[in-house]
A and B are shown apart, each in its own frame.
Chain A
Amino acid sequence: MTDRRALLEGAFRWAVTCAGFASAGAVLLILGFLVAESAGLFLSQAPGEPGYPVGSFLTETRWLPIKNPPVFGLVPLALGSIVVTAGALVIAVPLGLAAATFLAEVSPGWLREVLKPTIELLAAIPSVVIGFVGLSVVAPAVKSLFHTQSGLTALTGSIALAIMSIPTIVTIAEDALAAVPMSYRDASLALGANRWQTTWRVVVPAAAPGLLAAVILGAGRVLGETMAVLMVTGNAANITLDPRDSVRTITATIAQEMGETARGSDHYHALFALGAVLYLVTLATNGLASSFLERARRRMSGAR
């Protein structure tokens, strides 16, 4: 090969390798950056000015960034995220798994080919649009049905987020069910079971790791949502488990307050700390889901 050729060859290889590793490295870079910026809150900025204590951040039950001195408590926001997420999962998991089961086990092939992309389309609806619909339709309904002060409650958020996470759950759960080998179903039917018994007693248990992964990924999606919750949960940093109360999530806090915060201030660093917590949690849920998906794949690769 001519030298020029060899150079081009090597340069091309180098370029694509860099792109590959850079894309992978982004995950670490984001984490590192978030942690670094969070540190500004906890570390001492100047002599005589101690940093905000980590313990306080983790246990304080109020979030009052504008007070003097400011109070940064993770608890109400984390609780808000958890309550809304739990509510969303209560709605989305049964519906999503049931719809996935319908698609995988009951519906005829042509219908599945139509419905699956349609559900994927649901996933494409932007968060802000769902938030708007939640605001204009769901909130008034919640207000009149549950006699809350405004309709802006955790429940409203849960309903909105359920709509957003169902497509994720359906897609992954359907894949998990479809991956169960035909031979399992054949064996069950040959023993005289009907289709529902086969589905419920054979296919679903076999697909369990994949189904669990679907739920975990759905939960991850919900935890990370911002605009919809920002618009409908009322944005009050309350400590409550009652879905009829207004709450505030970690995501909404970051989105809402970042615009008004001075760069480099304690508030700024505190918001990054929230981001770091959120990020670590989503990394954990993704990791958990991945391991379940891996378990599912290993299970299936034995039988045909």
Chain B
Amino acid sequence: MTKLESRRLCIHYGAKQALHGIDIAIATNEVLALIGPSGCGKSTFLRSLNRMNERIPGTWHEGQVLLDGKDIYGRDVDPTDVRRRVGMVFQRPNPFPTSISKNVAYGLEIHGTKSRSEIVGIVEKSLRAAALWDEVKDQLHKSALALSGGQQQRLCIARAIATEPEVLLMDEPASSLDPISTGKIEELVQELKASFTIVVVTHNLQQAARISDRTAFFLDGRLVEVGETKTIFTSPVDRRTEDYVTGRFG
């Protein structure tokens, strides 16, 4: 079942065109990795999936991004609704300067639909799902900034999944972390895929090979090739893909 799909998606920053006609379909509960050299547009594409690219003034698009068949850029669609259903984890952990529990509860509080007791329960559930609960359960009121980098990133993941989005976008989630934390994040992705559809941008090819079901290779703002991860890495169709995954450039 297709969860998220882009059709002929083009993204422009003013006069400059960053993405040219991207067509990708992402299935429910799959992990899709986006790879490619710096500046190829993979992060731009990721951000277009939850309309975060709109934060940059002068951005405009052509084409569509369909979530469960409905265009998220439709005229009657509110970006904040989209972001509730499509969550995001950023490259550098960015917890709010408040307590751990307040961080996780933030998404719930702004929508204002849950009661205090419900929120407490969801905070625990999210922290467990992010494999952080055991480490912080006795210090939920301590500042999030006191945690290590790896813990902060897992906190950001807990925060993102607390609102139960359907899709999780991750922009190089482990690139600023040490190897042990990176391993934990990768494990987490495998566990989370049971409940979410996940799209991960990574510049680490081994990581892409380890955690994803399918992989998409971007180059110069174009989608060169997308397919099963095993195929992309062992017998890619396009010559450029092969050059990239074998390390001849990028």
Contact = CB atoms under 8 A, between A and B. Distances in A.
Interface residues of A, number: 1
B190 interface: no
Contacts, number: 3
Contacts of A1: 78, 80-81
A1 B81 CA distance: 7
A286 B38 CA distance: 47
Interface residues of B, number: 3
**Main SS at interface, chain A:** loop
A10 to B, nearest CB: 13
Interface string B68-98: 0000000000101100000000000000000
Contacts of B81: 1
B225 to A, nearest CB: 39
Contacts of B80: 1
A1 B80 CA distance: 8
A182 to B, nearest CB: 30
A234 to B, nearest CB: 57
A79 to B, nearest CB: 53
Interface string A1-30: 100000000000000000000000000000
Nearest to B80: A1
A1 B77 CA distance: 8
A1 B112 CA distance: 13
Interface in A19-55: none
A142 B81 CA distance: 74
Interface in A165-180: none
Nearest to A2: B78
Contacts of B78: 1
Nearest to B111: A5
A1 B78 CA distance: 6
A84 to B, nearest CB: 50
Interface in B119-146: none
A254 B80 CA distance: 56
A196 to B, nearest CB: 46
A209 B80 CA distance: 48
A104 to B, nearest CB: 35
Nearest to B79: A1
Nearest to A6: B78
A1 B111 CA distance: 10
A1 to B, nearest CB: 4
Interface string B96-115: 00000000000000000000
A149 to B, nearest CB: 65
A100 to B, nearest CB: 37
Interface string A123-135: 0000000000000
B75 to A, nearest CB: 13
B214 to A, nearest CB: 34
A1 B110 CA distance: 12
A87 B81 CA distance: 66
B78 to A, nearest CB: 4
Interface in A110-142: none
A1 B83 CA distance: 12
A8 to B, nearest CB: 12
Nearest to B78: A1
A35 B80 CA distance: 49
Interface of B: 78, 80-81
Interface of A: 1
3 contacts: A1-B78, A1-B80, A1-B81
Q: Report, nearest first, the 3 A-B pairs whose CB atoms are least far apart.
A: A1-B78, A1-B80, A1-B81
